[in-house]
Structure 1
Amino acid sequence: MNKYLVTATAVAIAAALPQAGACASLDDALHCNVSARTFIHSLIDAGQIDGEPTRVESNSINAFNLVKGVDLRAFGYPVFAIVGYEEGDPIFRKGSGTRLSRSAYGAVVWGSTPKVKASVDAAHSNAIVHHVAPFITAIFCDRD
């Protein structure tokens, strides 16, 4: 992909996200039309998430905390963590096992899996909806 297009996309996503304290929607990015690098870096640049992952799964998916006071939403559901991995990007750490994907990202939300899936489907997103725990659901884009 053209590096100027990637930069322009990242700037556009960052500009669309309000600064800390305001509610921001991740719906557009969760239509799986950007890379994990673009998604994660735009959130870091906008001051929405911490720049260091707080957890790295064995499949190399990195979890990032929201900055205190940030209110992110995904298809109407409150986000409490951002996840992602982009092969070759130094911000992401590798896990101990086999990586899930070369480029994957998403949001972990408070909401029941059936209701979150219905919202994602209604928005015509091709994101994967994955049950994590009772009332905790991941909305995930696998770009591999």
Structure 2
Amino acid sequence: MRVTRQVTKLIRIVTVFALAPYGMLSTPAHASAVEEQLDCKSTGHVFISALMNSGEIQSKPMHVEKNSVNAFRPAHGVKLTAFEFPVFVVLGYEKDDPLFKPGKGDPVGDWAYGVVVTGGSDDVKDRLRQMGSDAIVREVTPVMTAILCKAH
């Protein structure tokens, strides 16, 4: 139950930080889909480093949660999608990895990664299950949903 509350709190905080700038962005010049990586067969490092190396997310997190989950904004002009839903923020963490800034509390686990998308949680859940993903799906608001993979 504690992890669920932490994840829900993280999602709400990150969403507030992530939504503010999007009303002012122009039409994105580049689009990329990340749903294949949301099958939870990767790690936080692999997921985030690939997006950083391709220039699709900013290299510095906009926010670091107490549980060490780092939140990254998509790079300016980049439109990320997951299951055809727009991605507002990308989440990631891996234990002892210099790519991630540590939080002040206990880490979420050995690794975690995911995204927050615009879309109802039932629609997102349906698409994830069709793909066979074991990702955790959490409703942030009726139209915002988090998709999270983490070490078991």
Q: How does 1:65-144 map to 2 (within 5 A)?
A: 65-144=73-152
Aligned length: 125
Answering whether residue 44 of structure 2 is matched by residue 36 of structure 1, we say yes
2-structure distance, mates of 1:50, 1:128: 24
- Name segments (4+ residues, structure 1) moved above 6 Å: none
1-structure distance, mates of 2:81, 2:102: 27
1-structure distance, mates of 2:49, 2:94: 11
3-state DSSP class of the match of 1:89? coil
3-state DSSP class of the match of 1:28? helix
Q: How far did residue 21 of structure 1 move?
A: 2.3
2-structure distance, mates of 1:97, 1:112: 31
Answering whether residue 58 of structure 2 is matched by residue 50 of structure 1, we say yes
Q: Deviations over 1:32-76 (max 9, x none)?
A: 111110110000000000010110111111100000111111111
With normalisation by structure 1, the TM-score equals 0.82
3-state DSSP class of the match of 2:90? strand
Structure 2 segments unaligned to the other structure (5+ residues):
1-27
Q: CA RMSD in A?
A: 1.3
1-structure distance, mates of 2:42, 2:134: 13
With normalisation by structure 2, the TM-score equals 0.78
Q: How far did residue 133 of structure 1 move?
A: 2.2
Higher helix share: 2
